[in-house]
Chains A and B, each alone.
Chain A
Amino acid sequence: DVKVTQSSRYLVKRTGEKVFLECVQDMDHENMFWYRQDPGLGLRLIYFSYDVKMKEKGDIPEGYSVSREKKERFSLILESASTNQTSMYLCASSLWRQGITYEQYFGPGTRLTVT
């Protein structure tokens, strides 16, 4: 079974702090994704990465950055946390092959509260 793990289930940070959310997948997937989930808004893509050191912006990248130094690990960074970044953050991964769409596998999520 594919396993996607996230470093924390719950996190409380103060406004202005730098926050790191870590995600690790164990199935050698090329693609990795970071979403935020808010009530009534569904899942919104922040960033995704299709290879080591490669990244693309999603729909809401402002205030976030990412890092992928190893294939299995994808980090989301909040450079200066703000209260409007209080949310559930979900990491996902998927295979990639030219012309084929694969389902995404999700981690358990990190519920971040910024006070």
Chain B
Amino acid sequence: AQSVTQLGSHVSVSEGALVLLRCNYSSSVPPYLFWYVQYPNQGLQLLLKYTSAATLVKGINGFEAEFKKSETSFHLTKPSAHMSDAAEYFCAVTLPYNGNQFYFGTGTSLTVIP
């Protein structure tokens, strides 16, 4: 079975500081991994995805994530936080041959302090 753990349900950073949101996965085979963002009262929007190509993946709005097989991690980073980054972030895992079943983490709420 696959699962995702997001460490830290709430993260606060100052504007301009590094953003680091953690995601660890459990999978019996190399998975595909996704980060989604949810702004207040909206649906989820894809930030970036890892599908077994380059391990460092760049996404929208300056975010990137690195797939580290040895650590079973896919942490999301952004060098400099902006006020507009305040949102809920979800990590998700799926299997390459069964993309119908996505497993989502419980989410991390990011607060950006001016």
Chain A residues near B (Cβ < 8 Å): 4, 9, 31, 35, 40-45, 48, 50, 56, 90, 92, 94, 96, 99-109
Residues of B within 8 A of A4 (CB): 43
Residues of B within 8 A of A92 (CB): 43-44
Residues of A within 8 A of B70 (CB): none
B17 at the interface (CB under 8 A from A): no
Chain B residues near A (Cβ < 8 Å): 9, 32, 34, 36, 41-46, 49, 51, 90, 94-102, 104-107
Contact of B96 among A48, A56, A101, A104 (CB under 8 A): A101
A41 touches B106 (CB 8 A): yes
Secondary structure class of chain B's binding surface, majority of residues: strand
Residues of A within 8 A of B45 (CB): 106
A40 touches B9 (CB 8 A): yes
A44 to chain B, nearest CB (A): 8
B42 touches A103 (CB 8 A): no
Contact of B97 among A41, A99, A108 (CB under 8 A): A99
B43 touches A107 (CB 8 A): yes
B102 touches A106 (CB 8 A): no
Given the interface pairs A31-B100, A109-B42, the reply to whether A101 lies near B51 with Cβ below 8 Å is: yes
Instruction: Provide the bound-state CA to CA distance between A42 and B99, in Å.
Output: 18
Secondary structure class of chain A's binding surface, majority of residues: strand
A2 to chain B, nearest CB (A): 10
Residues of A within 8 A of B97 (CB): 99, 101
B94 touches A101 (CB 8 A): yes
Given the interface pairs A43-B90, A90-B44, A108-B42, the reply to whether A103 lies near B34 with Cβ below 8 Å is: yes
Residues of A within 8 A of B32 (CB): 101
- Closest B residue, CB atoms, query A111: B41
Enumerate 19 A-B pairs (CB-CB under 8 Å) in ascending A order.
A31-B100, A35-B104, A40-B106, A42-B90, A42-B105, A42-B107, A43-B44, A43-B90, A43-B104, A50-B100, A92-B43, A94-B99, A96-B100, A99-B96, A101-B96, A101-B99, A102-B99, A103-B46, A106-B45
